[in-house]
Amino acid sequence: MSKPAVFTALFALFLTAFVCPAQAGPNFSGDWKMNIAKSDFGPVPAPEVLTRSIKHHDPTLEISTHQKGARGEVNSELKYTTDGKPCVNTVQGAEAKGVAKWNGDSLTIESERDFQGTAITATEVWTLSDGGKTLTIKNHVTVPKQGEYDLKYVFDKQ
């Protein structure tokens, strides 16, 4: 292949990378209800009810959660951007810092918050399946002096 042909081919490839937008990841928007039979709470008591309303317009991700269980009811509002920029939320009166970023078709959210003087860290991996009707969140939690454990939340789209 001649030098002009190689140059033209490389230029076309370079131009395509800028003209064609990157493929967006899945959209998690919707109202979701926990499927307790498919979820796994490990050492943590399962809630009676866990619902999430998610508004996802990449890179903006807004999550409203309602949870009801033995310890009462808890509602939370979280906001992230999926571009890896740090975000700060308030959870039960305490600051929670987090970063959300794409890893292929999965979204990873790494967060840290203080709970009664203890820094709790969590890494969540979000995936969609069943044609976008099932949201699975695998959560690895670390609590100093108490250890690490894994949780799996499975949600059905409503």
Name the domain count of the chain: 1
Helix residue spans in 35-107 (DSSP H): none
Does residue 7 lie in a domain region?
no
Domain region containing 124? 27-157
Report pLDDT for 19. Answer: 40
What's residue 145's pLDDT? 87
Which one is predicted more confidently, 150 or 19?
150
pLDDT at 125: 98
Q: Is residue 103 part of a domain?
A: yes
- Asked whether the beta carbons of 52 and 63 are under 8 A apart, the reply is yes
As a whole number, mean pLDDT of residues 95-113 equals: 97
Model confidence at 24, pLDDT cuts 50, 70, 90, reads low
Angle at 43 between CA 38 and CA 49, to 5 degrees: 50
Does 137 reside within a domain? yes
Is residue 1 included in any domain, yes or no?
no
Q: Which residue shows structure tokens 């009810």? A: 49
Q: Which residue has the higher pLDDT, 155 or 44?
A: 155
Residue 70 lies in a domain: yes
pTM, 2 dp: 0.83
Q: What confidence score (pLDDT) does residue 117 get?
A: 86
Q: What is the pLDDT of residue 107?
A: 98
Does residue 109 fall inside a structural domain?
Answer: yes
CATH code, domain with 122: 2.40.128.20
Read off φ and ψ for residue 10, nearest 5 degrees.
-65, -40
* Host H or E run for residue 101: strand 94-103
On whether residue 35 sits in a domain, the answer given is: yes
